[in-house]
Amino acid sequence: MSNPGKPSIVTYGDYEVITPPHTLRSAVTELPPGAEADDAVARAELALSELSENFPAWMNAECERLEDARAAIHRSGFLPQTRDGLFHAAHDIKGEATTFGFPAVTDIARSLCRLIEHTLEMKDIPRELVDQHVDAIRAIVRESARGDVTDLALALTRRLRDVTEEFLATSNRHRPDYLRDVIQTG
Amino acid sequence: MLRIEFNKLRFLVVDDNAHMRRIVRTLLHGFGTREVYEAEDGGAGLEAFTHHMPDIIITDWVMPIFDGLELTQMIRQPGANSNPYVPIIMLTGHSEKRRVIAARDAGVTEFMAKPISAKALYERVLNIVVNPRPFIRTKTYFGPDRRRTTNANYVGPERRNGGKADVVKPISLLDKAKIAD
């Protein structure tokens, strides 16, 4: 469908307003009054629900990737490559876990991302705290069938988040602007 | 009432995570899209963009080689490729305000924080197709107009000089449909 054509350009003082050709216009149809609504969202949700039988296996694969990244740090220490590997694995879990049906691990993955991202010197990232995050994610996924997993996850999340935020506040105390603008307000 | 003909739209999904690519592809096929291309990093994404000429790009932020923000900046180079105006949806695990602002300032069209949902994705595509924004070019920015609304009470510094500083808003198909009703 793409056929960019020529945009119209109007120049003002120090800027231009460019109106590209509306090439996607032909992908919109105006339905007559009373026409049956097209529920594309429902169709997509149904397609996703059919895919969901794969999600537990995918979540386990993401946990294994996280554990592999942690193992690389135990072997080689925090290097740019090993740190990025751990961050990417945790970041992906943060974004996917809720879709996969494991929302309880999302906030722990978020806490691990913050620990890695906001510790100024990577050598200062406390490995024990990294281990606790990774183990907590693994345990919650493993025990997801238990009836009390939500309470367990909440307690773990609260504790890990508190310890992480306290560590970040202490380790960034010499950077008050960063602490205020980035860590505390996002 | 408007209907998007998803079968007329060509998408490119750029994400290093195969699971997420599969999820996005599934949602797009569910909407009715036939042509969905995939790339697993920013470099492959740029190549696929040039090769397949997608109508809409959906990209992750955190990726190897170069990330989604850099991919956006490379595409938003007037003259560097055949369609620097292509709509870009940033689909990311980042949700902090500073990240949203950075994505907007790189020229991203729509920002979407994970977890993904069919409804949220549909709404982003609907906005892109039905209500396209003009582009703004200044010395430091090239991308979709970052002003979506008019704030009569705005008191901050004016970044644009030379008049016409209010929101530049073309009549959208959505507005036209409302008028027709």
Q: Which domains does chain A have, with CATH numbers?
A: 55-184 (1.20.120)
DSSP assignment of chain A equals -------EEEE-SS-EEEE---TTGGGEEEPPTTPPP--HHHHHHHHHHHHGGGHHHHHHHHHHHHHHHHHHHHHH-S-HHHHHHHHHHHHHHHHHTTTTT-GGGHHHHHHHHHHHHH-SSGGGS-HHHHHHHHHHHHHHHHTTTSTTHHHHHHHHHHHHHHHHHHHHHHHTTT-HHHIIIIIIT-
For domain B6-149+161-180, the CATH class is: alpha beta
- Is there a contact between B96 and B64 (Cβ–Cβ < 8 Å)? no
Does A18 sit within 8 Å of B4, measured CB to CB?
A: no
Chain A, residues 162-181, CB within 8 A of chain B, namely 181
**pLDDT tens, position by position, B117-151:** 999 999 999 999 999 999 999 999 999 998 876 67
Nearest CA in chain B to A57: B19
Q: Do residues A44 and B27 touch, judged by C-beta distance below 8 A?
A: yes
Residue-wise DSSP of B128-153: HHHSPPPEEE-SS-EEE-S--S--TT
Contacts across the A-B interface (CB distance below 8 Å):
171
CB-CB under 8 Å, A91 with B20? no
Is the CA virtual torsion A9, A10, A16, A20 positive or negative? negative
What tens digit of pLDDT does each residue of A122-162 get? 899 999 999 999 999 999 999 998 888 889 999 999 999 99
Q: What angle do CA A46, A48, A50 make, to 5 degrees?
A: 75
Of all residues in chain A, the one with the smallest CA distance to B32 is A40
User: Residue B55 and residue B86: Cα distance in Å, rounded?
Assistant: 6
pLDDT tens for residues B6-49? 999 999 999 999 999 999 999 999 999 999 999 999 999 999 99
Parse chain B into domains and list their residue ranges. Answer: 6-149+161-180
pLDDT at A52 over 70: yes
| A5 or A148, higher pLDDT | A148
The pLDDT score that the predictor gives to residue B162 is 61
| Residue count (chain A) | 186
The first and second tokens of residue A123, run together, are 């050598």
Q: Is A88 on the interface with B (CB under 8 A)?
A: yes
Give B33 or B80, the one with higher predicted confidence: B33
**pTM for the full predicted model:** 0.89
| CB contact A80 to B (< 8 Å) | no
Mutate to test the interface with B, among A2, A30, A62, A183 (most CBs of B within 10 A): A2
Q: What separation, in Å, do the N-terminal and C-terminal C-alpha atoms of chain B show?
A: 9
Q: A62 phi and psi, to 5 degrees? A: -70, -35
Are residues A27 and B4, on separate chains, in Cβ contact within 8 Å? Answer: yes
Above pLDDT 90, what percent of chain A?
Answer: 72
Distance of CA A56 to the CA centre of its chain: 18
Query: What would the two tokens of residue B65 be?
Result: 């080689």
- Contact assignment for A2 to B92 by CB distance below 8 Å: no
Asked if this assembly's ipTM is beyond 0.95, the reply is: no
Chain B residue numbers with beta carbons less than 8 Å from the beta carbon of A31 are 1-3
